[in-house]
Amino acid sequence: MLDKTIPYAGFYMVRKAGTPIPDFPLPEGFTFAMYQDGEEEQWAKLETAVLEFGSEFEALMYFKETFEPDKPELYKRLLFIKDSNGKVAATANAWWSFIDNNRRAWVHWVSTSPDYQGLGLGKAISAKVTKLMTEIEGDVDVFLHTQTWSYKAVSIYEKCGYVMTDEKILYKRPGKKDSYKKAVRILKELQKKNSKN
């Protein structure tokens, strides 16, 4: 869940080609599953529950505009973890983004339902979606965007081989230029504060 009580700064992480990807087993009663028709509503519900969107309608509209034009790709790229009743507990997407007209492997929308946080599902789905990406795209650099509001997820991504990157091409878009430095500063302050507690 996003912690919007702290200052916001968006930043990028990269898992460099060749970096080992760990295995994090799922707890009993949970299984990995790929997207099936109709599950966009469960995706929208989860993403709204973790505060990524203001409403399920907004999340659903984003899904339809962003992913449905390439719907055949969803079946092999949109990953879920489901509980024993088939409810979506976590999700991640092995998608892509274009940076300066170059297509790059990009992990999108890694989220765990508030009902299931603290069980290791975030680590499990982050590692699994990264492996999935290498199966689809080959062992290439894999990028993701996150933010200081998701600071607890940063250590999960690091366990899966991702590191913060200040690659200039990623930050050249409007409003992004000083984002990396701001994020580093905020994360250091949080680390310092948490080490005192």
The secondary structure of 94-131, three-state, reads: EEEEEECCEEEEEEEEEEECHHHCCCCHHHHHHHHHHH
Q: How many domains does the chain have?
A: 1
The reply to whether 18 falls in a domain is: yes
CA 43, CA 67: separation in Å to the nearest integer? 12
Give the mean pLDDT of the chain: 92
CATH number at residue 62: 3.40.630.30
Q: Is residue 96 predicted with pLDDT exceeding 70? A: yes
The reply to whether 159 falls in a domain is: yes
Task: List pLDDT tens digits, range 113-133.
Answer: 999 999 999 999 999 999 999
The reply to whether 4 falls in a domain is: no
Expressed as residue numbers, the domain containing 146 is 10-196
The pLDDT score that the predictor gives to residue 197 is: 63
At position 98, the amino acid (one-letter code) is: F
Strand pairing class (142-147; 102-112): parallel
The reply to whether 83 falls in a domain is: yes
The reply to whether 122 falls in a domain is: yes
Least trusted range by pLDDT, from 92-96, 98-102, 108-112, 133-137:
98-102
Q: Give the pTM.
A: 0.91
- Going by C-alpha positions, the residue among 14, 73, 7, 63 that lies closest to residue 40 is 63
